[in-house]
Amino acid sequence: TISVLFLYDAAKKILKKKYLSVAVACVYAVLIAFFGYTENILTESLATSLMCVMLWCITQVIEASSKRLYIIISCAMVLLCIFERPSFLFLLPLLAVFFTVFIVWERRWDLIKCVVISFGVCLLVVFAYCKHNEALTGHFMLSNIAYYNQISIMLDNDMWMNSKYPEISFEAQQRVKHNEQNENGLASAEELCARFGYKEMSEYLKDCRKIYRKRYVKTILSHSALEEPVIDLYMSDKIVGRNRQFIFEIIRTSFLPFSYATMLIFIVIELIYGFAIWIREKRLVYMSFGIPGCLLGIYVTSVISLFGAKLQRYAIHMLPLLVLLIAMEIDHLLKQLEK
């Protein structure tokens, strides 16, 4: 609900048309309710809500008088997004570029100090947390879930046998038998890391990749996000019941046939529009670059995050931005028709 309200207000400031803003909020609200994200506690859901707050703060930076306050809040939202979903790390450089362009274009040199300090604090916090993880696990990173995911993939696809590591292989075999009954691969991966240590498990993973390379690559490619319609990424089989499933199929085949390729077309169209306005009118439409840039960042991190497993919930971050992007392009079309 909070994310819908923030998205509505942000859309109202970007589109300058109340009916389009209402449409954006309604479509987004219907989609998140229909596909069940209001029924689960997911880091992706919270991170998406925080991203909507960040988008609203950026519109405030562009239009409001108290720009410093909203710059600080925007950076705080980005930091929270990163700790919710480490794949959102790309938001830091993206936001830094956005504020740099804004300061230069608007000649607001008085904001440089605020931006530098805000981003300096964000980088310091991220660095400190990574060092904390390094002290605990030996890996300088925001999250160790990648190791758990890779181990879980190997367990699920019977790629755990390694003669160099008989003890780990035996324990992995036991975990596979256990998972067949309990379906809890990630918990087994965490337990293996806790028992044998991250360093030894990392070496074990590297060696297993060499042994099972062809099979491992085939497993990754078989779950390629490029082959999946983007609307499929908003559905969970455990949530969507038989009736919802039937309705979903109708919507997918007749009303929302979006794919990653289609989404990229929308992004390219908006970027072309932004450059055209910049060259022809000497006016910079910030969101014509900001929203496509953010969508591209999510696209890249979603494709990377989806390797080896159908963790399709990662792409729900695209939902509010994609709906807003389509509304922006409808607005461009309406303006051209009015002329």
Q: Is the pLDDT of residue 35 over 60?
A: no
Tokens of 80: 């929270």
Cα distance between residue 93 and residue 91, in whole Å: 6
CA angle (104, 106, 108) in 5-degree steps: 75
**Of 256 and 197, more confident:** 197
Q: Identify whether the C-beta of residue 52 lies closer than 8 Å to the C-beta of residue 320.
A: yes
**Of 78 and 186, more confident:** 78
Mean per-residue pLDDT, 201-222: 66
- Nearest by Cα to 27 from 256, 257, 263, 283: 256
Q: Which residues contact 163 (CB under 8 A, 6 or more apart)?
A: 169
Q: Which residues contact 320 (CB under 8 A, 6 or more apart)?
A: 3, 7, 28, 48, 51, 52, 55
Give first-to-last CA distance, the chain, whole Å: 37
Q: Identify whether the C-beta of residue 86 lies closer than 8 Å to the C-beta of residue 142.
A: yes
- pLDDT at residue number 167: 83
Predicted confidence band of residue 223 (pLDDT cuts 50, 70, 90)? very low
Tokens of 316: 């729900």
- pLDDT at residue number 146: 64
For residue 211, count CB atoms less than 10 angstroms from its CB and return exposed for 0-12, middle for 13-18, buried for 19 or more.
middle
Q: Identify the weakest region by mean pLDDT among 77-81, 223-227, 232-236, 270-274.
A: 232-236
- pLDDT at residue number 179: 56
DSSP state for residue 233 in the 8-state scheme = G
Mean per-residue pLDDT, 290-305: 78
Q: Is the pLDDT of residue 49 over 50?
A: yes
Predicted confidence band of residue 200 (pLDDT cuts 50, 70, 90)? confident
**Of 72 and 339, more confident:** 72
CA angle (213, 176, 198) in 5-degree steps: 65
Type of residue found at 156: D
DSSP 114-144: HHHHHHHHHHHHHHHHHHHHHHHHS--SS--
Q: Is the pLDDT of residue 292 over 50?
A: yes
Which residue is associated with the tokens 């075999």? 173
Q: Identify whether the C-beta of residue 294 lies closer than 8 Å to the C-beta of residue 93.
A: no
**Of 220 and 28, more confident:** 28
- pLDDT at residue number 70: 92
Q: What is the pLDDT of residues 257-275, one digit of tens each?
A: 445 667 788 888 999 999 9
Mean per-residue pLDDT, 207-223: 61
DSSP 186-209: HHHHHHHHHHH-HHHHHHHHHHHH
Mean per-residue pLDDT, 111-126: 93
- pLDDT at residue number 257: 40
Cα radius of gyration rounded to whole Å, the chain: 22
Cα distance between residue 57 and residue 54, in whole Å: 5
- Highest mean pLDDT among 85-94, 149-158, 303-312 belongs to 85-94
Q: Which residues contact 204 (CB under 8 A, 6 or more apart)?
A: 162, 165, 168, 196
Tokens of 160: 């755990």
Q: Is the pLDDT of residue 205 over 70?
A: yes
Question: What mean pLDDT is reported for the chain?
Answer: 75
- pLDDT at residue number 252: 43
- pLDDT at residue number 238: 36
